[in-house]
């Protein structure tokens, strides 16, 4: 399980979501002997049954299976609560925040983050305290509170970096960039998004790459609505990147942004063409915010 975990983690962060899913699913199906996993948790610091499922859920979201991702996440959280291993529970809550931030459910992100903070404070887990603080801000951002979210995002980000951690920095810069854009701090937003892309280029962490390009397009639209061509280029690059990585999650979000841009330009046929192909590949998850938004947009375009 440890060998598959390291392989799967590497694939996940390098945006090989299909390969990551295969590693994590194989480990869970074939090697998650509870007694053996408990024995190794005392030596590796984490329960592999929890950590494999945590990351499998994220990979499933990318592959266009949001309902399955939620079921695996729920199974993982139940396991994490049963085993009495605080570090693995904090890990589970961190990944619940990550998944539900992708899914777009702000209240769930915030609730998991607050529990993560409580456990981290009790156990002196500095890393999880930092990420819990960051995710509390991420949940507030999804709930439409960018000004209130920013202090938590910035405090969590600074504490995370102070500990020397680097993995997931592109995600953090992405979320910071989105919050700063919504707060009207466009120069700061540009710096955050550019730094997220630069870190990803340096470390080969690619799993947030498509979303960073999309958010650059949204920044351009917010900053100056006449920057249509530049924003369109960013959205197209986000779609191309997501397709190359087989991330339906990021492709749907980028296609929705592109369709909204086309609609604003009264390019309705192009808007529908941009969105309906990727939307049509989904067979589940129709109550999640991204799919509901895409469905409403397609309905409006069909009028």
Per-residue pLDDT at 45: 87
Domain boundaries, the chain: 1-102, 104-179, 208-303
Tens of pLDDT, residue by residue over 259-292, are 999 999 999 999 999 999 999 999 999 999 999 9
Whole-angstrom distance, CA of residue 16 vs CA of residue 269: 33
What tokens does 57 get? 């859920």
* Residue 157, pLDDT above cutoff 90: yes
Backbone phi, psi, residue 101, to 5°? -70, -40
Residue 285 is classified by DSSP as -
DSSP 49-88: HHHHHHHHHHHHHHTT-HHHHHHHHHHHHHHHHHTT-HHH
Q: What is the pTM of this model?
A: 0.97
What is the 3 state secondary structure string of 98-129?
A: HHHHHHCCHHHHHHHHHHHHHHHHHHCCHHHH
Give the position of tokens 């592959």.
63
Tens of pLDDT, residue by residue over 65-96, are 999 999 999 999 999 999 999 999 999 999 99
Q: Hey, what CATH topology would domain 208-303 get?
A: 1.25.40
* Residue 40, pLDDT above cutoff 90: no
Whole-angstrom distance, CA of residue 161 vs CA of residue 83: 30
């Amino acid at each position: 399980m440890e060998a598959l975990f390291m392989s799967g983690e590497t694939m996940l962060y390098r945006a090989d979501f299909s390969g990551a899913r295969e590693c994590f699913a194989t480990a869970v199906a074939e090697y998650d002997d509870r007694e053996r996993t408990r024995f190794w948790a005392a030596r590796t610091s984490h329960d592999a049954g929890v950590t494999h499922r945590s990351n499998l859920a994220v990979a499933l979201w990318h592959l266009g299976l949001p309902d399955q991702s939620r079921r695996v996440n729920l199974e993982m959280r139940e396991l994490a609560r049963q085993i009495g291993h605080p570090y693995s529970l904090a890990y589970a809550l961190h990944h619940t925040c990550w998944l539900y931030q992708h899914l777009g459910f702000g209240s769930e992100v915030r609730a998991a983050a607050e529990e993560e903070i409580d456990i981290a404070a009790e156990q002196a887990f500095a890393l999880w305290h930092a990420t819990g603080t960051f995710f509390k801000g991420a949940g507030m951002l999804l709930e439409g509170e960018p000004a209130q979210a920013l202090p938590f995002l910035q405090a969590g980000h600074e504490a995370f970096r102070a500990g020397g951690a680097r993995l997931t920095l592109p995600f953090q810069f992405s979320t910071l960039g989105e919050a700063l854009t919504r707060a009207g701090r466009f120069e700061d937003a540009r710096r955050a998004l550019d730094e997220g892309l630069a870190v990803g280029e340096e470390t080969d962490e690619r799993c947030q790459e498509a979303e960073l390009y999309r958010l650059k397009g949204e920044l351009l639209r917010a900053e100056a609505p006449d920057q249509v061509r530049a924003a369109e280029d960013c959205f197209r690059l986000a779609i191309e990147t997501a397709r190359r990585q087989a991330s339906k999650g990021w492709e749907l979000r980028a296609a929705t942004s592109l369709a909204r841009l086309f609609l604003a330009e009264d390019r309705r046929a192009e808007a529908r063409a941009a969105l309906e192909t990727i939307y049509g590949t989904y067979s589940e998850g129709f109550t999640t915010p991204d799919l509901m938004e895409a469905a409403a947009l397609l309905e409006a375009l069909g009028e």
